[in-house]
Structure 1
């Protein structure tokens, strides 16, 4: 029996944007995966915790973003735990929960450079296949096994969107319309 092939795209998704969706769709197609799971962090080890946006807000916006694509799912395992979200701990839990799934952990080139600093990286590369995607201004060089997928260069980031919102600039075409409606309705990011 063929193993289910699942891509994991972790992040703060603060907010989720079209770059996340394009990246996920490109990897899904290129590697012929069965699904992509978007996995919001509780507390990423390399970033500060999101300030004025709750985990519930980020999850709601992510649900709105992936609605309509049956291959896009949400994995809440990191939101169900407290403290820092270390990929190694999460993947041990996922592999124990779903031993027959082959996981592909998707990272941008910025994280490829950071891999030597990941907790238990030697053991982690035994649990998952890392998939690296290009990101402007970053190298793909790493001593770890990373499968590369070339994606369109997308210069959209969550910080760009938050910056636009703080300056009262439009975020149309950067996020899906239902996420924009959610942001306005819940008065987040200074709206």
Structure 2
């Protein structure tokens, strides 16, 4: 059975921290692949700054050097607000011989009980919580925990740096070039 990690997010923009997290989980749990799932319309946020197409292009640029890291456009196909349960249900139907591991930040583990259809979701996938050094998540029954080194980068800080005219840290050259070429996050 194939073992695939699912890493959902807005990825606005995607950065080296996303790469480090995915590679850490991939190697720690000996997964075959990790599929990044950019949200089309995140239900928990006001909205992305970059368009869905721009975020998808940046994500493909970020992942271009590691064949084990792929992009799934399933939430773009589903349109509307993205709920993990609906996405996972469809993936399980399309890939019945795949064991899915859903990756979340360690800080999100304590919020799992509030997720939409969480009990049904737990029957479909294995949750993986990623702890960064210096942060300790609340342990939830049935969540595998993986530890990784701190990567001091965030999408919101990158957007802020660009808006304020500073050179952002944590982007690959190809993603930074795309952002500059398309004048993203400047206003």
Normalising by structure 2, we get a TM-score of 0.95
Q: Which residue pairs with 1:81 in the alignment?
A: 78
Q: Which residue pairs with 2:173 in the alignment?
A: 177
Structure 1: where are the runs of 5+ without partners?
A: none
Q: Which residues of 2 match residues 38-57 of structure 1 at below 5 A?
A: 38-51=36-49, 53-57=50-54
Q: Which residue pairs with 2:9 in the alignment?
A: 11
1:114 matches 2:105: no
CA contact (8 A) 2:35 2:70 kept: yes
C-alpha separation in 1, matches of 2:27 and 2:98? 18
C-alpha separation in 1, matches of 2:134 and 2:80? 31
1:21 matches 2:19: yes
Q: Give the paired residue count.
A: 187
Residue deviations 1:135-188 (CA, integer Å, cap 9, x gap): 47754214441001101112211001001111111124x110000000011111
C-alpha separation in 2, matches of 1:45 and 1:136? 29
C-alpha separation in 1, matches of 2:181 and 2:6? 29
Q: Which residue pairs with 2:125 in the alignment?
A: 128
CA drift at 1:134 = 1.1
C-alpha separation in 2, matches of 1:47 and 1:138? 23
C-alpha separation in 2, matches of 1:123 and 1:56? 31
CA contact (8 A) 2:9 2:39 kept: yes
C-alpha separation in 1, matches of 2:88 and 2:135? 25
CA contact (8 A) 2:132 2:147 kept: no
Residue deviations 1:55-88 (CA, integer Å, cap 9, x gap): 0000000000000111010011011122110000
C-alpha separation in 2, matches of 1:47 and 1:118? 14
